[in-house]
Structure 1
């Protein structure tokens, strides 16, 4: 009967990882709904960006206080989870502290984990204070009401509980080691939990084992729950920040995409010797829709951007349109894109792998014309993002659709484009009158 806990653990582990794999498959499916884009260029630069931005957190520390706090939580998440490997092996084999054979190095590891756990607790508390007591403006935008705010706080509570369970587990383990309890061989250094263990003094061994086992099980179950919660949370960036920075835009930020079909038309217009009829190909497929009105019209990298969004609001806090009271919020653009993509994914799931038109689209039902035209295309949001997200590319693609498919540009822009077409300049003066201003000087 001693093997029953190991079997239960194996089943729980299989179910937890299996459900996570199912969500990853769904995530990959949704991202692949986007148009293909060639990202095979400049691999060395892409690797450099991933190491520097995602692993090195270089864009986080532009704002030192949240940047340093985030690095503490990030390191705690990465390093302390090394300990999870030991828990998994112990759970499957029925051992206890299987890595204790490493001796002094094992003691160093456990001590480091505990110090990091305390630092993570402090960082999490400070993050909570910033969100709920100080109430920074970028966390109070309309798009952050409801679930986004709850999600931001819930993830802090989960991280806090996981760290406290880790320290409680170690404290009970330490006390059992001091009492020479069976199967609790002395191993590890406990610079923090040894003080927590003072609250357990005088308790019988059976009670201490119950506390240690309860904390152990709660800790690993909490980690599996956290793993599967990621798909439904803004903390999906924990997984996607690395590929997102790798596939991030490498060209100069001010360089926009040209449509090949439009480029060819302009070249024909500019070449007086070209025969437009000779250039036509009767077998050529119909031109694709210009721009984007729904998530399927966007590139897969843009859809991955939407899932990677951390909802930190740095983009919105730097946006000049938002600062001056316009409706545009680059963070909302990404959140809306993700929400619509999730809606499309659920539609596909409900209809056995096929999307059934639902009468909705990203443009209009989620993102308004007013938001799109408020953008100054300054790239401040792109520069501010700590994980290389590009909200501007989505805005420009949807603007392109409005102009080229619906002729729905604002009147001022239509006037300007008409002037360029007729007069070769944005102003309503013909070419013969351009220099009249100099005669009045």
Structure 2
């Protein structure tokens, strides 16, 4: 029977690794659709930023209560799943609690620490479920945020319920294990894990069951825990919870420039300098492929990583002045639409090969002109993001394409552009009169 379990475990583990690796490779290839963008400068500063923002979750604590709960779920889930190492060894070699003897008296301390964290994760997830579905926090509930309709809201609830189930399975497994150790049943007699701090409270409810039932319950919880974690690892690659992994590289490669500094197109900057006689035209001018961005291929790889790193927390949208006044713009929706576009491209690849091209584009089919024009470029969304995502950069590039390639700009903008071209100022008066206001 043990050999059958080992073979079954090996097959499940190998299948999970295969599908997760396949998905990771596909996401990597999708991100690489973006244009090159060198983010290798100042590695020391980038490392500190990653440790402070991604690992330390500094920006989450701008809202302390939510920050503490989120850190509890994050730290608890990550640390508890260190136990997966022992489960994998036990699964592959048919052992039981293989680390108990090597760790000795330290083992019960470690497991009890994990149990405390498991209880914390359960409580935090319950609170998050209440916030989403009972209190109906505006930025999280579909009734207030249209982009959260359907799958996004369901995805968040699935993850929270799944995490609760995984933690309960962990505690149930420990409780059954403790009873079987006390009864000296089979190989459980050789294990010496000591008493469990949290799961011991489940023992009175389970002690009346037979040895056979407890053996089945312990194995069922063990299998659910390991298969659940492997399924969770695969699921997050389709979910907003991919930020669990991508938050680290995303914060490391974040833009180090000041928030208000926008990226100008070198070709346009050069033309302006030539017009102002600050630079001489070259013999051969480099041809500009496209002004701004029409589709995801025109964005940088970092913009696309931003889309996959989005936590859909809505902090950006809740701080957006355009959204507050009822405009169509939602920075969160910009990121979600960019990811939706990437996912649709992936579906085309899987169905028709990597050379497949469809007739859609991010600009127009996924993000509307109304959304782009509503942005005030205030950087509130960038400042609010807990993982340093920059929705504004995508908005500016899409808007640049509309104005410079499609001539889609409001009349008031066109008047300003004309004044800039003729008077070198947004206002309609001669450059010679620019300083007259001072003398008056």
TM range (shorter): over 0.9
| Residue 179 in structure 1 maps to residue 183 in structure 2 | yes
**Counterpart position of 2:207:** 201
Q: Is the Cα contact below 8 Å between 1:169 and 1:212 reproduced in 2?
A: yes
| Residue 259 in structure 1 maps to residue 265 in structure 2 | yes
Equivalent-residue separation in structure 1 for 2:152 and 2:127 (angstroms): 19
Q: Aligned with 1:65: secondary structure?
A: helix
Q: Is the Cα contact below 8 Å between 1:110 and 1:189 reproduced in 2?
A: no
Q: Is the Cα contact below 8 Å between 1:100 and 1:188 reproduced in 2?
A: no
Q: Is the Cα contact below 8 Å between 1:110 and 1:188 reproduced in 2?
A: no
**Counterpart position of 1:9:** 9
**Counterpart position of 1:345:** 346
Q: CA separation of 1:428/1:117 partners in 2, compared to 1, >3 Å: closer, same or farther?
A: same
**Counterpart position of 2:404:** 404
Equivalent-residue separation in structure 1 for 2:125 and 2:55 (angstroms): 20
Instruction: Figure out how many residues of one structure are paired with residues of the other and give that number.
Output: 434
Equivalent-residue separation in structure 1 for 2:434 and 2:222 (angstroms): 80
Give, in angstroms, the shift of residue 435 of structure 1.
6.8
**Counterpart position of 1:88:** 88
Query: CA offsets per residue over residues 276-303 of structure 1, 9 Å max, x none?
Result: 4xx232xx66321111011111000000
Equivalent-residue separation in structure 1 for 2:308 and 2:278 (angstroms): 47
**Counterpart position of 1:222:** 228
Query: CA offsets per residue over residues 150-201 of structure 1, 9 Å max, x none?
Result: 0010100100100111111011001111111121122143011111011111
Which runs of 5 or more structure 2 residues have no equivalent in the other structure?
Answer: none
**Counterpart position of 1:142:** 146
Equivalent-residue separation in structure 2 for 1:416 and 1:206 (angstroms): 81
Q: Is the Cα contact below 8 Å between 2:59 and 2:386 reproduced in 1?
A: yes
Q: CA separation of 1:261/1:175 partners in 2, compared to 1, >3 Å: closer, same or farther?
A: same
Q: Is the Cα contact below 8 Å between 1:108 and 1:188 reproduced in 2?
A: no
TM-score, normalising length: structure 2: 0.95
| Residue 328 in structure 1 maps to residue 329 in structure 2 | yes
Give, in angstroms, the shift of residue 405 of structure 1.
1.0
Give, in angstroms, the shift of residue 272 of structure 1.
7.6
Give, in angstroms, the shift of residue 273 of structure 1.
8.2
Mapping of residues 354-365 of structure 1, within 5 Å: 354-356=355-357, 358-365=358-365
Equivalent-residue separation in structure 1 for 2:400 and 2:159 (angstroms): 38
Query: Bigger CA drift: 26-35 or 200-209?
Result: 200-209
Give, in angstroms, the shift of residue 375 of structure 1.
0.7
| Residue 280 in structure 1 maps to residue 286 in structure 2 | no
TM-score, normalising length: structure 1: 0.95
Query: Bigger CA drift: 59-68 or 180-189?
Result: 180-189
**Counterpart position of 2:307:** 306
Give, in angstroms, the shift of residue 432 of structure 1.
5.4
Query: CA offsets per residue over residues 57-82 of structure 1, 9 Å max, x none?
Result: 10111011111100000111111011
**Counterpart position of 1:428:** 428
Give, in angstroms, the shift of residue 387 of structure 1.
0.5
Q: Is the Cα contact below 8 Å between 2:170 and 2:222 reproduced in 1?
A: yes
Equivalent-residue separation in structure 1 for 2:389 and 2:162 (angstroms): 26
Which runs of 5 or more structure 1 residues have no equivalent in the other structure?
Answer: none
Q: Is the Cα contact below 8 Å between 1:111 and 1:188 reproduced in 2?
A: no
Equivalent-residue separation in structure 1 for 2:153 and 2:92 (angstroms): 38
Q: Is the Cα contact below 8 Å between 2:53 and 2:251 reproduced in 1?
A: yes
Query: Bigger CA drift: 132-141 or 419-428?
Result: 419-428
Q: Is the Cα contact below 8 Å between 2:166 and 2:225 reproduced in 1?
A: yes
| Residue 169 in structure 1 maps to residue 178 in structure 2 | no
Mapping of residues 55-70 of structure 1, within 5 Å: 55-70=55-70
Equivalent-residue separation in structure 1 for 2:241 and 2:316 (angstroms): 17
**Counterpart position of 1:53:** 53
Mapping of residues 120-135 of structure 1, within 5 Å: 120-135=121-136
**Counterpart position of 2:39:** 39
Match 1:155 to one of 156, 159, 163: 159
| Residue 245 in structure 1 maps to residue 248 in structure 2 | no
